[in-house]
Structure 1
Amino acid sequence: MASRRATPDAVWAALSHPARRGIVDALRSDPVATGALHERLEREGLSPSRFATQRHLQVLREADLVLVTQRGRERLNALNASALYQATIGWLDPASARTAHALDSLKRLAEAPTAKEQRMTEFHITQAIDIAAEPARVWAALIEEPAAWWGAPYLLLDGPSAFELPLQCGAPVVERLGEAAALWGHVSAVTPGSVYAWIGQMGMGAGAWGEVRYELEATEAGTRVTVTHDSALLWADDAAGARSSYDYGWADLNARLKALVETGARHGTAGTNAEPEFAFNPSS
């Protein structure tokens, strides 16, 4: 009997044939008997004979992608999701894997039939604030000192978290507290000194996705910081409320960033962890 090789090479080789990909697709929900598998492949024009189907199944079993299970007197073929995971998403770091899973969940939510009417709502927030300092100083505070201006209640972890805003596109934007970590998204754009953006769920759950972008522009008085937040929410019962909440939240965080740069006041998790006094003007 051939030994099973749950290796990426074996998995990718096994998936190189459309009939075997069809088998994997058929097994995604439940184990299926060989006869039923062959009937499906035959209908789809993927396998000309039962012998060919058996041969494709054998290749998948040798790659450890398909396991044989017993249900009463019936022998069923079951997908070994672990082998598939290790050959694909298993290569990703944990934060990236969670993002991939969230994107897949959002896709399945959007495509799945439901008794509830499906709808996708969007919101767009744009805010600007003037800070009396050169762009280099504002950029340093934004990227290098996030814990000094980002704080409660805009946290995913319960405690004085630290934030990581890496300068590499695709890198995770992470909130950390001891051994715990929470993912805010992944860096989508970086122009050192002027642009920083990331995409992710932004604390809104699996049914939401968006991008936040900071843009810094030199002015005669210092630096103008523009923040945009574009998001899409699936089945949002209170989209206006969500937008209003995030609108206020970004205004609060902008005020904290301004206070840090101009006065040295630390209102983030590495400081008072409370909002400063500021005038809130809702964005249009």
Structure 2
Amino acid sequence: MSETELTFKALADPTRRLLLDRLRERNGQTLGELCEHLTMARQSATQHLDILVRANLVTVVRRGRERLHYLNPAPIHEIEQRWISGFDMPRLRALSMIKHQAEEYGMTSVPTYVYVTYIHATAEQVWQALTDADLTARYWDHANVSDWQPGSAWEHQRTDGSGVADVVGKVLTAEPPTRLVITFEDSPNEEREPSVVTFLVEPHQDIVRLTVTHENLANLDMFNGISSGWPAVLSNLKSLLETGDVLPQAPWKMTGTHA
């Protein structure tokens, strides 16, 4: 069964759609939290979650002894690109913006963003793509510059020769080639806690699962921006590693934003 078929099959069940709605309302829940208001046995809920995980609609992130469940927008993004973007995207975006603005008044916290993609590459190749300034310049249009040691600074520098950094931060954790945690400050002059990005690289035979978790987001505008930016950047990274070249057009020019 193809990935698209798995996605549609998973979305066809109302209980699984309810689980996704619960994660959309509050991402990063344990199994117990998700099952709290469901009128079904825990085992049945687990089976539904397993289907969502196999369809790549939900990803599980371990935090100590806890298993936290997060929405993964990648399959929905692919469906949107194939089935929706070619029709009436400007009007759909306008309607979506109205909906998001209306929902913003009812939200008290900004959800954590999680994105999962599978890449035909080694863990070492993915790690190099995340940390090598020349490679990041190719697929991100910015060079990520640092020595990537815990405590060191890093900069997201423009490739126009100006040396201007649009994002800065600090390396919190570096465990090559599997885990990199950085702070992400796109407005360093503002007095607020920086957001945090975690790259988790999990090798399996000839492929790698790359999970990007972006948390402690400042507001919904930032959440909506990275929700478009990260899929574009990571699609370009995937193309570079699997084909030797980036996508023929910069994908963030379609989404109108850049992570």
Bigger-Rg structure (1/2): 1
Structure 2 length as normaliser, TM-score? Answer: 0.48
Higher relative contact order (CA 8 A, sep 6+): 1
TM-score when scaled to structure 1? 0.44
